[in-house]
Amino acid sequence: MAGVDITGGGGAGISLTKDIYVNTSLVGPFDATSDVDVFLEDTGGNPITPVSSVLVGNDLTITANIPVPSGVALQFPIGDQYISYRTGDTGSRVQNAWFYYTPPSYPAKFAKLKNTTGAEYWYTLETALTVNGVTSTERFVDASGIQGWSMLNNLNLSVVDKLTGLMFTRTRSGLSKTWNQSIDDALAYSVVINGNTYSDWYLMSLQEAITIFGNYVTSPTWVDPISLQTIYAFQNSATMHFSDTKNQGFFDQATYGFINTTVRDLQFSITAKGTSLNTQIFVHDVRNLIS
């Protein structure tokens, strides 16, 4: 609260109370025989330290630096495994602080799912966020900010999740790759999407898959139920390797996910790292795209 004026007032004659005004607005009388304590805080109840205060007559002017809200507080995923089995897995990312996320101290916006029990839950944000100048409450968009996924400018190759700040690849199927090959491919992957080069990719971890897909992929073609746009098209019963090994006692096993076409949901299991699976999903940190 910068430039606060507190002015004593009152009628003629002797009075034991005085009126108090803050920025010319009456906030009530006070006991003129007692001291008045002034506390500055922001709308969140956090104390504000004044830069200066000057009392001239009955006018008390307090100056404080109030931060201007900026940025978006995202729900960036956590790294769920510290042990690293090789460069590029979840453990190595944790040890290199890849998952370390400090949200803005005074965020202008908060990324969170819409408070609803309707079908838009998981797909719609409470507050509209912007990607590439396009503002909407749609959670999953392409790099141009819409749900178009056109082949033009390689927009069909990735999905931006405005809730987490992650981008993930969309079309890498039918590759028949082992766990190590998949991680190597992720580290070597580089692509130009909408005029920007993205080359810092990692194989999607189990925690990232749960955070992005949840249990909402009920068929190989994953569709936004509100817009009816296809977010991701898996192969039938497609499998995907994830970069963290949940069975830490078994060095030769890695977790993977697949579409169970019988019960129609996304499931997870473990398999030997040397097994060849037919889908890869890479992730990229694109927090800087979201405002």
Same domain, 256 and 119: yes
List the structure tokens of 236: 């039938």
Is the pTM for the entire model greater than 0.85? no
Domain membership of residue 156 as a residue range: 72-289
Same domain, 54 and 83: no
Strand 72-73 and strand 109-110: pairing? parallel
What is the helix (H) or strand (E) element at residue 260, kind and residue range? Answer: strand 253-260
Residues facing 158 on adjacent strands: 169
Same domain, 50 and 164: no
List the structure tokens of 18: 């005085």
Same domain, 162 and 225: yes
Same domain, 109 and 240: yes
Strands (DSSP E) contained in 45-169 are 50-56, 59-64, 72-73, 109-110, 124-131, 134-138, 140-141, 158-161, 166-169
Contacts of 286 (CB under 8 A, 6+ apart): 160, 165, 166, 167, 198
Separation of alpha carbons 207 and 223, rounded Å: 21
List the structure tokens of 51: 């830069």
Same domain, 49 and 183: no
Count CA within 13 A, CB hemisphere, residue 128. Answer: 7
DSSP assigned state of 236? T
Residues facing 4 on adjacent strands: 62
Same domain, 83 and 163: yes
Domain count, the chain: 2
**Tell me: the pLDDT tens digits for 217-238?**
877 789 999 999 999 987 666 5
Same domain, 174 and 82: yes
What is the band of 1 on the pLDDT scale with cuts at 50, 70, 90? very low
In the predicted model, what is the mean pLDDT of residues 170-197? 93
Same domain, 161 and 239: yes
- Residue 206 CB coordination number (10 Å): 20
Same domain, 35 and 93: no
Domain end position, chosen among 64, 81, 106: 64
The mean predicted confidence, pLDDT, of the chain is 86
**Tell me: the pLDDT tens digits for 246-291?**
556 667 888 878 777 666 677 888 888 899 888 899 999 999 999 9
What is the helix (H) or strand (E) element at residue 259, kind and residue range? Answer: strand 253-260
**Tell me: the pLDDT tens digits for 69-121?**
899 999 999 998 898 989 999 999 999 999 999 999 889 999 999 999 999 99
Contacts of 46 (CB under 8 A, 6+ apart): none
DSSP string, 172-223: -EEEEE-HHHHHHHHHH--EEETTEEE---EEPPHHHHHHHHTT---SSEEE
Separation of alpha carbons 288 and 286, rounded Å: 5
Separation of alpha carbons 102 and 105, rounded Å: 8
